[in-house]
Structure 1
Amino acid sequence: MTMHPLDIATKLTPAGEGRWTGHTSPAYWNMMGPFGGVTAAVMLQAALNAPQRIGDPVALTVNFCAPIAEGAFTIDLKEVRTNRSTQHWSMELSQEGGGIAASASAVFAIRRETWDHQPATPPAIAPHDTLTRFDTAGRIAWAANYDMRFGEGELVYEPRPDAEPGPARSVLWMADHPARPLDFTALSAIADAFIVRIFHVRGRPVPAGTVSITTYFHTDEAGLAANGAAPLIGMADSKVFRKGYFDQSAELWSADGRLLATSVQTVYYKE
């Protein structure tokens, strides 16, 4: 069977104790390097692959230190501490001659059956099949790997005056393309698959890049398996654009209203 593009992009080969090697994927290329979501996914994949790993990921933070060049890379993985029900990892991605390009930390945990309560509710959106897939033709390569169907806040390239910015909020259906059963690798990538908010607000491409993203996972492997390859409801928004940086928050929901992940990131921009 043909491997899914995401599995090719996040494939890692053991290279000694605590070390993995991988290779960038042209399918997930962004403006100046790999799509940040696939970098986050491959960093998490290193910890997921560790034989001594326990539980499921609860939180993942990735810091983008420098551009990642096309080609091979190495991920050094360190088990920081393992407690009775939590486990902490650190990861560094480097390339020969380029030093460390990204660093990350991840927390895993053994989840137990407890009292549940979800005060949050998913955003309203029209049914998936009634919406048209966002046209990615001619856009950056990684976007073609996602089926995005906007119910609110679709990206429209119509430059706006400084005093009349557009809305930052978007609500859309999101899924891997081609379809792929949801797992933590895919969920960590799709958490960064929202088009950067400044494109929406300014109505045009602006030089921008994620500096740091933290994703919180609110489900376990069984919860992801229950979702299968069904599309997710995504919501992204920003609160402030100021002095070259803006925040971007996101939510990812199953179609039946379960909150699966939330994320927050800080993004550099230049005008």
Structure 2
Amino acid sequence: MTSHVFDDAVALEALGDGRFRGHTHPAYANMVGPFGGITAATLLRAVEQHPDVLGAPLSLTVNFAGPVADGEFEIEAVPVRTNRSTQHWSLAITQGGAIATTATAVFGQRRETWSDSETPAPGAPAPESLEQQRMPDIVVWAGNYEMRFIDGIMTPGAQQESSSSTLWMRDSPARPLDFTSLAGLCDIFYPRIYLRSGQMTPAGTVTLTIYFHADAAALAAQGDDYLLATAKGHRFNNGFFDQSATIWGHDGQLLATTHQLVYFKS
């Protein structure tokens, strides 16, 4: 049986002492370095494979200090503190002795408590009734995802008053959902400046944070079905903007929220 391309891309070799060796994958190439979502997923995988890990992911913050070059890289994952309910991690990707990416992660033990969601999933037509949108071939990584937009499709040359998009999405080919693939999916939303300006303006994520609201059982219940997501920007100003997204399962359960700060030129 052949492995899924996603699993090939996040594969790591344990080197001991919390260090892991990885390799960029051409299928997840972006215009400069790899797709940020695959970098986030790989960092999360390093913690998952660490022998001292406790619990499951609660949050992940990735700071893209510089591009990751094609080829090998090394990840160092350090558990800086373990408490009764949470475990805090410091991570870094290095190449040639230089830091390319830093990150922090929080893992934890979830316990049953009172629960509620104040952000319900929007009404949406069945994903199969919507046309799949394909990005330009230059955006190589997008070929690994199926995206069916309900609203907020970018039209080249057409400025939009809103930066909001709602879509169904999943890995392509379909793959059962887990924390690493969810981390990748949290970054598939093209920069909101594209939608507002109608132009593929040079832009890149500076920092990305993901909050995981579901446990492993809730993710497993999604199988390889579509997820529903809404993304929007908040403030575009002086070369930077922020954007956030909310991701629900096909059953309407809130799985994750994500926020990022993006650099852009205009």
Question: Normalising by the residue count of structure 2, what TM-score does the alignment of the two structures yield?
Answer: 0.98
Deviation track 1:33-86 (CA, whole Å, cap 9, x = no partner) reads 100000000011100111221111000000000111100000011011111121
5 Å-filtered alignment, 1:44-193, equals: 44-96=44-96, 99-136=98-135, 138-160=137-159, 165-193=160-188
- Aligned pairs, number: 266
Q: Distance between the aligned counterparts of 2:57 and 2:137, measured in 1?
A: 35
Check the 8 A contact 2:208/2:260 in 1, yes or no: yes
Question: In 2, distance between residues paired with 1:183 and 1:138?
Answer: 27
Contact kept? 2:206, 2:261, Cα under 8 Å = yes
3-state SS of the aligned residue for 2:177? coil
Aligned match of 1:21: 21
Q: CA deviation at 1:185?
A: 0.3
Deviations 1:180-205 (A, max 9, x none): 00000000110001111111111111
Q: Which runs of 5+ in 1 are unaligned?
A: none
Q: Check whether the contact 1:37–1:191 (CA below 8 A) recurs between aligned residues.
A: yes
* Structure 1 residue 166, shift from structure 2 partner: 3.9
Q: Does 1:262 align with 2:251?
A: no
Q: Is the Cα–Cα contact under 8 Å of residues 166 and 202 in structure 1 kept in the other structure?
A: no
Q: After the TM superposition, which of the residue ranges 227-236 and 110-119 deviates more from structure 2?
A: 110-119
Uncovered stretches (5+) of structure 2, i.e. residues with no partner? none
Shift of 1:159: 4.5
Question: Which digits, 9 at most, give the CA deviation of each residue in 1:162-190, with x for residues without a partner?
Answer: xxx44200000010000000000000110
Post-superposition, which runs of at least 4 consecutive aligned residues in structure 1 deviate over 3 A? none
How far apart are the structure 1 equivalents of 2:103 and 2:208? 10
Is the partner of 1:227 in helix, strand or coil?
coil
Structure 1 window deviating more from structure 2 (150-159 vs 213-222): it is 150-159
- RMSD between superposed Cα atoms in Å: 1.0
* Aligned-residue offset at 1:137: 5.0
Partner of 2:9: 9
2:170 is aligned with what amino acid?
A
Q: Percent identity?
A: 48
In the TM superposition, what whole-angstrom CA distance separates every residue of 1:119-155 from its partner, at most 9, and x where no partner exists? Answer: 2111222111100111235241000100000001012
The answer to whether residue 182 in structure 2 is matched with residue 215 in structure 1 is no
